[in-house]
Amino acid sequence: MPTISEASIADFNTIQQIAFKTWPETYGTILSAAQLNYMLETFYSEETLLKNLTEKNHHFLIYKESDVALGFVSFEHHYQNQPVTRIHKIYILPNNQGLGIGRTLLNATIDLAKKNHCNRISLNVNRFNNAQFFYLKNGFEIIKKEDIEIGNGYLMEDFVMEKQV
């Protein structure tokens, strides 16, 4: 039976393992190896994860089947003091994509958004990432394009997407 549980500091290693297994397949044809490594090291360091959890009010949910973690989502309610839940990360292990795990995590996030009086879900997705089609299929709309400098001369070229909940 699948379970979804809120992650704690003790789950950082699990989150890192999923990210490090997922990113090369997700972004390997989109980003250079150097940018991919830079982003993984920057976004998934213990220091960054701890700051996200304790200072930035991010929540992490982990999806497991038979006690094996297959994916996670991180999000923040009342993003920028608006009635918006912001999904910061959602990744499913490559061999488990297309099985409904992403939709399950998305629905769990939507349920929590509603309980926290948020009426929209927002996220950024790389403009060249096929995940945009998953979001479109699940009711998100592209609101705008956004380029974000992340250091070392690297740029994230994203769509900002939203969904009413």
Burial of 6 (0-12, 13-18, 19+ CB in 10 A): exposed
Domain that holds residue 92: 3-119
Q: For 47-101, write each residue's pLDDT tens digit.
A: 999 999 999 999 999 999 999 999 999 999 999 999 999 999 999 999 999 999 9
In 39-140 the beta strands, taken as DSSP E runs, fall at 59-65, 68-76, 84-92, 120-126
- Determine the Cα–Cα distance for residues 164 and 145; give it in Å rounded to an integer: 19
Q: What percent of the chain has pLDDT over 90?
A: 99
Q: Is residue 149 part of a domain?
A: no
Mean pLDDT of 134-144: 98
Reference 132, options 159, 162, 93, 97; nearest CA is: 159
CATH number at residue 27: 3.40.630.30
Above pLDDT 70, what percent of the chain? 100
Q: For the chain, how many helices (H) and strands (E)?
A: 5, 7
Give how many domains the chain has, as a whole number. 1
Give a yes or no: residue 109 inside a domain.
yes
Reported confidence tier of residue 1, pLDDT bands at 50, 70, 90: confident
The verdict on residue 45 lying in a domain is yes
C-alpha count within 13 angstroms, C-beta hemisphere, residue 105: 28
